[in-house]
Homo-oligomer: A and B are copies of this chain.
Amino acid sequence: MELLVVTDKCIDYDGSAIQSHWAYRNFGILGNSLVVFRGKCDVKVEEMIDIEDLRAKKEIRSDDMVHYIIEVFDFPNVLLASTLQKLFIAKLCEVLGGYGIKTVRKGDDIYVNGKKLSISIATVSPVSIKIHIGINVEAKGIPKGIDAIGLKEIGINDVDGFMDRTGKALVEEFKKVKKDSLKVRWAS
């Protein structure tokens, strides 16, 4: 899994980055990848992946977020997509713990002090698994009714450093997962 942390420019997230080969089309990264970038979040209805959100006509918005776009080509299966997503979220909580921040993970959501820090979705394309995770930098521009929080409110001001540290942590986690999958004999 190749890591790209984009810190020299903003990239807004409108949901289209969830399509397959986004990292290859935009950055020339071939194969499994994690691209970390920062920008506004405003997901267009036609790009919404979560049908629960679509049915509830939810808005997915934030003025400033750190985004993670993961693509894994090994096997495009929704259960693997959903499992990987939860593991990555758990890993982010562990990294936040390293910053001294106490988090509560509920499935694919991260809460700090009862407030929502993140959004996430995981699905498949016909050739890959795609996961998006967004972490509020500041809790601004969030849809009404959501009690949100951002990195700055919890004392993480070095956003570039956070992007780098979490990016590396997620890639390390994936590499460990992959390595362990190769060193075990099958059971009867």
Contact = CB atoms under 8 A, between A and B. Distances in A.
Contacts of A63: none
Interface string A133-176: 00000000000000000000000000000000000000001001
Interface in A66-94: 73-87, 90-91, 93-94
A44 interface: no
Given A20-B187, A77-B80, A127-B186, 19 more contacts: A21-B51, A21-B185, A30-B182, A31-B182, A73-B78, A73-B182, A74-B79, A78-B184, A79-B80, A79-B178, A79-B181, A81-B181, A82-B178, A86-B176, A87-B90, A90-B91, A107-B180, A122-B180, A127-B185
A30 B49 CA distance: 15
Contacts of A183: 24, 30, 50-52
Nearest to A25: B51
A58 interface: no
Nearest to A73: B182
Interface size class of A (residues with CB under 8 A): 35 or more
Given A90-B90, A124-B127, A180-B108, A185 B20 contact: yes
B75 A51 contact: no
A95 to B, nearest CB: 11
Interface string A107-123: 11000000000000111
Contacts of A30: 179, 182-183
Given A21-B51, A25-B51, A55-B25, A107 B176 contact: yes
B79 A51 contact: no
10 contacts: A21-B51, A30-B182, A31-B182, A78-B127, A78-B184, A90-B91, A123-B185, A124-B127, A125-B186, A125-B188
